[in-house]
Amino acid sequence: MICIDPSTLEFLSDLRLHNDRTWFAENRPRYEAARDNYSRFVQAVIDEIVRFDPILKGLEAKSCIFRINRDIRFTHDKSVYKTNFGAFMVRGGKKSADRFPGYYLHLEPGQSFISGGAYIPPAPWLNAIRANIAENGDRLVKILNSRDYRKYFNGLEGEKLKLPPRGYEKDHPHIELIKMKSFLPEKTLSDAEVTAPDFFETVTGAFRAMKPVIDFLTVGRL
């Protein structure tokens, strides 16, 4: 049974307290063990997703996991390392996050979560999603209200416009969904849930429940 080892979260907790290159170099074996644990878990999740979303067949964890080094060129926060592990499981790997909806797993002590969907999709894709909601919003609402979906998620997270986008009336029955700029199922996780023996079932069950939303958001994608 594949699990997240408590030592993985312990490493990330310690990294939060010692976010510098010297400490990281001294603790590189711990980092490599934690990353390996996370990578093996992500690969097992991908292999299970393929059972209900075959388009991910052949996808490797290494193409989905984000680097732990932060880009500090344009930020006041000069912390060298992220204090989380994140992976976006999507066809083509994480570099395709602006092209296709996918599945996201974020591990961070006290702040872990399961998510996915479409994060700030580019204008052509966003416009296609909004048009799909305008025409087929009842179908999306039915998905969001389904028992399988609500077992893990409550609606969709993401920023919204204050006013309806151009071309949409404010009294459209699905205007609140149309106003969204991102479309993100999200489930927060406690550290106890992350390190529980059944965490793999929790993650893959959530992603299976998310699949109809992924299908809805795939509109306009080749």
**Predicted pLDDT at 221:** 63
**Predicted pLDDT at 74:** 61
Q: What is the largest CA-CA distance in the chain?
A: 59
Segment 99-122 shows an average pLDDT of 97
3-state secondary structure the chain: CCCCCHHHHHHHHHHHHCCCHHHHHHCHHHHHHHHHHHHHHHHHHHHHHCCCCHHHCCCCHHHCECCCECCCCCCCCCCCECCCEEEEECCCCHHHCCCCCEEEEEECCCCEEEEEEECCCCHHHHHHHHHHHHHHHHHHHHHHCCHHHHCCCCCCECCECCCCCCCCCCCCCCHHHHCECCEECEEEECHHHHCCCCHHHHHHHHHHHHHHHHHHHCCCCC
Q: Does domain 6-69+78-217 have CATH number 3.30.1460.10?
A: yes
pLDDT grade for 73, boundaries at 50, 70 and 90? low
Segment 65-74 shows an average pLDDT of 80
Q: Angle CA(195)–CA(47)–CA(36) in degrees, nearest 5?
A: 50
Segment 108-129 shows an average pLDDT of 96
Angle of helix 6-17 relative to helix 28-49, nearest 10 degrees, comes to: 130
pLDDT grade for 222, boundaries at 50, 70 and 90? low
**Predicted pLDDT at 1:** 78
**Predicted pLDDT at 70:** 77
pLDDT at 22 over 70: yes
- Phi–psi pair at 157, nearest 5 degrees: -95, 165
- Locate the domains of the chain by residue range: 6-69+78-217
